[in-house]
Amino acid sequence: MTQSDQYNFAYLDEQTKRMIRRALLKGLAIPGYQVPFASREMPMPYGWGTGGVQVSAACLTPEDTLKVIDQGADDTTNAVSIRKFFERTAGVATTEHTPDASLIQTRHRIPETPLTQDQILVYQVPIPEPLRFLEPRETETRKMHELQEYGLMHVRLYEDIAQHGHIATAYAYPVRVEGRYVMDPSPIPKFDNPKLGDCPAIQLFGAGREQRIYALPPYTQVVSLDFDDHPFDPSKADHDCALCGAADSYLDEVIVDDRGGRIFVCSDTDYCAGRRAETGGPE
């Protein structure tokens, strides 16, 4: 498919992309710091990835190959429409195959296949402020970041243990970046948290409604918060993938019939399909 004449390359005008790139560079220079940016109206509702789309649009070049995933899958509505959007407005090549992509926009997952230095991972972020739910005042949370007053983050984890006996936060699990900023990794499962740190790819986070961008440059130190006597545990469902047999991937629970029958399958559809193609497992 080729680029439509009615749009700028990748939809946004050059001045807007310039503004976003400046925010991205600042974010990369100060890992984990939330950079305000002038988020634009996009032709999709807030909550559908407007932040991620703007970051992707500012990063795409005609030579890029784009992959879009939603909860690990390439074939869900959100992933399909964003992929189509860029096919139409940027004319870039698209793929579902992780190693072939140069830019991956994601909602709520990090691909299982290890990323490389040649890749950019763009996260869609609903709420960028990890302190929000305990301290609603933005003026106060910015001050807390400035002065590294992060005791409140542990209050959240304390409450978890007090109520559930363990840290029950399973996604959007807060992390400390390079010993400085506390960051919300977007609603990825905590299973993915270990992949955030020391990652060869550039990781960019865009929150459209909240007008914030933040970033992790390659090989950044990222530590999940915890207590000495309740250490961080990425945890994983106690099953193997019913389709590819993988024991090391993040699984979705799928109801398969009306009698309550259920199976666990890889949430990363590309990873699962790749393994099945290799081993000739069940289709």
Partner 1 sequence: MTPLLQVTGLSKHYGARIGCAGVAFDLYPGEVLGIVGESGSGKSTLLNCLAGHLTPDRGQVLFDTRADGLRDTVTMSEPERRMLARTDWAFVHQNPRDGLRMGVSAGGNVGERLMAVGGRHYGRIRDTATDWLGRVEIAADRIDDRPSAFSGGMQQRLQIARNLVTGPRLVFMDEPTGGLDVSVQARLLDLLRGLVREMGLSAILVTHDLAVVRLLADRLMVMKSGHVVEAGLTDQVLDDPQHPYTQLLVSSVLQM
What is the nearest approach in angstroms of partner 1 to the Cβ of residue 133? Answer: 8
**3-state SS class at 72:** coil
- 23 Cβ neighbours under 8 A, 6+ residues apart: 35, 36, 37, 213
Contacts 24+ apart (CB under 8 A), 36-44: 36/211, 36/212, 37/211, 37/212, 37/213, 38/211, 39/207, 39/208, 39/209, 39/210, 39/211, 40/12, 40/16, 42/11, 42/208, 43/11, 43/85, 44/81, 44/85
What is the nearest approach in angstroms of partner 1 to the Cβ of residue 162? Answer: 5
Which residues 174-233 are close enough to bind partner 1 by CB under 8 A?
227-230
- 228 Cβ neighbours under 8 A, 6+ residues apart: none
What is the nearest approach in angstroms of partner 1 to the Cβ of residue 195? Answer: 24
Which residues 22-81 are close enough to bind partner 1 by CB under 8 A?
none
Size of the site for partner 1 (CB under 8 A): 17
Nearer to partner 1 by Cβ, of 228 and 238: the residue is 228
Give strand ranges (E) for 132-275: 175-177, 181-183, 202-207, 212-216, 222-224, 251-255, 262-266
Give the C-alpha separation, 3 to 88, whole Å: 6
| C-alpha distance across the termini of the chain, in Å | 30
What is the nearest approach in angstroms of partner 1 to the Cβ of residue 216? Answer: 24
Give the C-alpha separation, 253 to 97, whole Å: 23
Nearer to partner 1 by Cβ, of 155 and 254: the residue is 155
Pick one of 1, 29, 38, 134: the residue that binds partner 1 (CB under 8 A): 134
Which residues 145-164 are close enough to bind partner 1 by CB under 8 A?
147, 149, 151-152, 154-155, 158-159, 161-163
Residues annotated as catalytic are: 32, 241, 244, 266, 272
What is the nearest approach in angstroms of partner 1 to the Cβ of residue 194? Answer: 20
Task: Evaluate whether 89 touches 54 at the Cβ level (below 8 Å).
Answer: no
Which residues 104-133 are close enough to bind partner 1 by CB under 8 A?
133
What is the nearest approach in angstroms of partner 1 to the Cβ of residue 160? Answer: 10
Give the C-alpha separation, 245 to 132, whole Å: 39
Nearer to partner 1 by Cβ, of 219 and 227: the residue is 227
Task: Evaluate whether 130 touches 114 at the Cβ level (below 8 Å).
Answer: no
Residues in contact with partner 1 by the rule CB under 8 A: 133-134, 147, 149, 151-152, 154-155, 158-159, 161-163, 227-230
